[in-house]
Amino acid sequence: TTSSDGSRRCRDRGQRCYPGADTGVRVRWWLSAALVLCLGGLARAERVLDPEPPQVVAERLQGLHDRTMALYEAGDYAGCTRVAEEAVAIARPALTADDPWLALTLNNLGGCLEAAGEYARAEPLYKEALDLRVESDRVGIVPVIVSCNNMGSVRAAQGDVRDALEWYQTAW
């Protein structure tokens, strides 16, 4: 319809017309948006109810581990951190506490953060990796030594030489 000032008005509530202002179009758009949101939620629910097999998770983590190490060696600590965070986000919900991959991904993220100078964020990750490795029957002594050494390194970087020395002594 046209108003007295010559502008077009939509049939419902006298609003100005614009493409898609028709009530039917707006309803279809909202229904489409709701459907997309529901399907997205359904896909997430399927991943929770039907998790990936451990072998698939391990293969994904191996690829992320390789990318993390390449970025670390290239000195790209921001990129290294992003990839390591992605690995932790996959490992935490998918793996049990005694799975060596969980401790490794936490340790890798701690290493990227330490290299970037983010010692306060690195330390709890190193500590969690150490705790998992100590409690696990699936890892040997070498990863535990590496974790103790990493704790010493981050404590030394924070200026706590005495605590760092204790960690280094524990490692050796």
What would the DSSP string read from start to end of 59-106? HHHHHHHHHHHHHHHTT-HHHHHHHHHHHHHHHHHHS-TT-HHHHHHH
Question: Quick one: average pLDDT of 88-116?
Answer: 92
Pairwise pLDDT comparison (172 vs 32), residue with the higher score = 172
The residue with greater pLDDT, 56 or 8, is 56
Determine the pLDDT at residue 43.
46
| CA separation for the pair 144, 150 (Å, rounded) | 10
Least confident of 27-36, 46-55, 149-158: 27-36
pLDDT of residue 32: 61
Q: Within 10 Å of residue 66's Cβ, how many Cβ atoms?
A: 11
Average pLDDT, the chain: 80
Percentage of the residues of the chain whose pLDDT score is greater than 90: 52
Question: What's the pLDDT at 50?
Answer: 58
Q: Which of 112, 149, 145, 151 is nearest to 128 (CA)?
A: 151
Inform me whether the pLDDT recorded for 161 exceeds 70. yes
pLDDT surpasses 60 at 141: yes
